[in-house]
């Protein structure tokens, strides 16, 4: 009998950023001010979706957080099992700045067909493609 873990889909993590128009790897590196040695190991599939959303909205997206080391994730208040912390060679989450309600609506309209895990905060939106966490969820922060 196959283990439940065997059914988990793993996104393809490409090594080339050539097709990405609006982002570079450093936008997704850990924000711990160089205290860790994590390179940007963000899922390129996730970045490609964000790139497409930026095109659809006709405006740049501001990345607040991508990959995080475990220490920074704890300091930031992230969950112990965070999609921002690399596992299996990649991290699967990004937090996007959300300046106002109109942007929130436009971003969510574009993101819902592409992402099946979305968290909404007062001034940010979290999206992730984590293959090991429950899909088809939207949650609110700070409630």
Q: How confident is the model at residue 46 (pLDDT cuts 50, 70, 90)?
A: very high
Query: What residue spans define the domains of the chain?
Result: 22-140
pLDDT at 2: 40
Lowest average pLDDT, out of 29-43, 86-100, 106-120, goes to 29-43
pLDDT tops 50 at residue 12 = no
Asked if pLDDT for residue 121 goes beyond 50, the answer is yes
CA nearest neighbour of 43 among 14, 73, 70, 20: 14
pLDDT confidence of 32, banded at 50, 70, 90? confident
Please answer whether residues 38 and 28 qualify as being in contact, where contact means their C-beta atoms are separated by less than 8 angstroms: no
3-state secondary structure of 139: strand
Residue 15, pLDDT score: 54
21 Cβ contact list (under 8 Å, min separation 6): 51, 54, 55
pTM of the predicted model over 0.95? no
- The rounded distance, in Å, linking the Cα atoms of 83 and 25 is 17
Which CATH code of 3.20.20.140, 3.30.70.3270, 3.40.50.620, 3.30.1380.10 fits the domain covering 22-140?
Answer: 3.30.1380.10
- The band of 14, judged by pLDDT with boundaries at 50, 70 and 90, is very low
Residue with tokens 């220490």: 71
Residue 90's beta-bridge partner residues? 87
Backbone phi and psi for residue 10, each to the nearest 5 degrees, phi listed first: -110, 125
Residue 126 belongs to what H/E stretch? strand 124-128
Question: What pLDDT, in 10s, does the model give residues 49-78?
Answer: 999 999 999 999 999 999 888 888 888 777
Name the least confident of 6-15, 60-69, 108-117: 6-15
């Amino acid at each position: 009998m196959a283990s439940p873990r065997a059914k988990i889909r793993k996104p393809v993590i490409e090594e080339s950023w050539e097709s990405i128009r609006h982002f570079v790897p450093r936008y997704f590196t850990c924000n711990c001010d160089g205290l860790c040695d994590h390179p940007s190991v963000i899922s390129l599939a996730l970045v490609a979706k964000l790139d497409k959303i930026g095109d659809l909205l006709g405006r740049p997206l501001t990345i607040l957080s991508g990959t995080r080391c475990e220490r920074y994730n704890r300091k930031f208040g992230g969950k112990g099992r965070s999609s921002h912390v690399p596992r299996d060679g990649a991290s699967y989450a990004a937090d996007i700045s959300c300046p106002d309600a109109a942007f929130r609506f436009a971003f969510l309209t574009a993101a819902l067909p592409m992402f099946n895990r979305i968290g909404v905060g007062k001034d940010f939106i979290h999206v992730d493609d984590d293959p090991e966490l429950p899909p088809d969820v939207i949650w609110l922060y700070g409630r």
